[in-house]
Every structure is written in C-alpha cells, then in structure tokens.
Structure 1
Amino acid sequence: MKIIVYVLALIAGMSLSLEAAIGGALGENIGELESTYFIFIIGAMATFLIALFFGKGDVKQITKVPRWQLIGGVLGVIYLAFLIISVNLVGVGTAVTAVIIGQLVMSMIVDHFGWLGTPKARFNVNRLIAGGLLIASLFLIL
C-alpha cells in the first residue's frame, strides 16, 4: 500500500515541475504575479468542482479550526510566485532543485520538533547526508 503513496508523491513532484514551466511561460506573457493569480483561480475552480462531487469533508467546520491552519493559502501563493519568478531567471531544473532543498530542510525541522501536530522524527546523520547531497545537486545542475 505504501508504494501507492510513493507513486502519488512522485506524480505530485512531476506536476510541480510542469506547473513551474507553465507558470514561467505564462508569467513572461502576462506577468509573474498575474500568472500566480490565474493559476490559483483555475486551481480553485477545479478543486471546488472535485470537492463538490467527491468531497467527504465538512466545510462548515472551517470556522472552528485554529486560525494558523488557514495560512496554507498564503504559503501557496508565496511558493508559486517565487517559483515562477525564479524559473524565468534560472530555469526549471535549478529552480525546482532549490525548492526541493527548501522543502527538505523545512521538513526536517518540522519533523525534528514535531511542529504543527506532526510526529517527531529526530534529525540524524542520514538526514544530514541527504541534505548535503541535495545541496550538492544544486551545484551540479547549475
């Protein structure tokens, strides 16, 4: 069963690279921030339709959740806008590699301290080596 999760995560990563390239191209034509806006609008409409027909949650609970749980949308805008800007400056491969390094570093910090309700996974030598190899990959892909 875990293999399905890994395949889905792999597909998600591949989708991000395509999104970066598409957003970069759109950004060159209409502007980076405008591109970010339209990508989010189209994504919101698609998510609305998917949730409408397949969602099993209770959106009414949104008023009862801690406010910090709503910051994801802002972080998504920051991520996408900076990605689109960097793609147009350094290319998809370099930009996405830097994004992956940022994701890994922050993920290890969140895991180590168990922030935001996640299970703790202590920082260790293997994680240090993995981070170092990813940083080396950034220099190799330049």
Structure 2
Amino acid sequence: MPQATPGAAPHRAGWIVLGLIAGAALPVQGAVNAALRTDLRPPLAVGTVSFIVATLTITVVFGLLRAAGRTPPLRVRPLAAMPRWGWLGGVAAAVYVTATLLLIPRIGAATTVALTVTGQQLASAVIDHFGLFRLPPRPLTKARFGGLTALVIGCALVQFA
C-alpha cells in the first residue's frame, strides 16, 4: 500500500467532496427532468433539452478555463483514432438521463438512485476486474465483493421498504 504524503489527506478530501456533490447532482437532474417531462411530454425531448443545456454549460466553462490558461486547447484530430467503444460515453449518458426521468415519477427518487448506484457499482467492479476501456485491472477482492453484496442488499431494502 502506498505511503501517504504530507498534505495528501486534504487533497483527497477535495476529491471526495466533489464526488459527493456529483452524486447529489444526479437525483436533482433526474427530478428536474422528470418535472420537465410533464411540460414537454416526450422523454427524448426532455433528454434533448437536458443535453443542450449541458453542452452549453460545458462550452462556457471550457471557454472560461481556456481564457484563464487553466486547460489545454481542444484537440479534434485524435478522435479519428478513437476506438469504436470511445463513443459509448455519450450513449451511456443518454440512457441514464432518459431512464431516470422515466423511473423517478414511477418508483421515486430514492429507489431510482439506489438502483442506478447499484448498477454503477456492479458495472464498475466488472470494468475494474477486467481492466476494460484501457483502465488498469483491479481485481475483485473478497472485501470488494462483500461491499457489492451489502450494496445489493441495501438497494433491496430501499426498494421494498
């Protein structure tokens, strides 16, 4: 196990906080999109609006970071050599957004999030174990398997409570 360096804990704490904020944003996104569906009706229309707003937001943030010299310029040329699975990120986002705006009004935000987090963790364990998508392999240890089992049990309790 690598040794902690001085100052590493506060740095890691920032990443943990960011992860928690990102996680908290997902049910908000789903609930807002579900409410938007009552006005727009078709789920794909809601998804389209959501992604247009997301694209505009990312574009503005990218522009501000570029202007401040905090991020490198966009490089389009490497896209030509990207493997076919490289496009799955956008497809996965569309599946997630559409699924949550359909699920939240029917089964509730807590159950939807419990199911999506459980699905995320199970898929993540498979991706890690096999080192998929150019990631370094991280074996499914007994402790990780125990954590996943507890997560599945917790998901069932949230769903059926």
Q: 1:73 aligns with which of 86, 90, 104?
A: 90
Which of 1 and 2 has greater Rg?
2
Which segment drifts farther, 15-24 or 30-39?
A: 30-39
Residue 47 of structure 2 corresponds to residue 36 of structure 1: yes
Let me know the Cα RMSD of the aligned residues. 1.4
Count of paired positions: 142
User: What amino acid does structure 2 have at the position aligned with 1:105?
Assistant: L
Residue 74 of structure 2 corresponds to residue 58 of structure 1: yes
Partner residue in 1 for 2:100: 83
Q: How do 1:92-103 and structure 2 match up within 5 A?
A: 92-103=109-120
Assess if the C-alpha contact under 8 Å between 1:28 and 1:88 holds in 2: no
1:49-91 deviations in whole A, cap 9, x for unaligned?
1112214243323334333212211111011101111112101
After TM superposition, the runs of 4+ consecutive aligned structure 1 residues lying more than 6 A away are none
Relative to 1, partners in 2 of residues 1:111 and 1:57: Cα closer, same or farther, differing over 3 Å? farther
Give % identity: 24
Structure 1 segments unaligned to the other structure (5+ residues): none
Residue 40 of structure 2 corresponds to residue 24 of structure 1: no
TM-score, normalised relative to structure 1: 0.92
Structure 2 segments unaligned to the other structure (5+ residues): 1-10, 66-70
Indicate the structure with greater helix content. Answer: 1
Relative to 1, partners in 2 of residues 1:57 and 1:102: Cα closer, same or farther, differing over 3 Å? farther
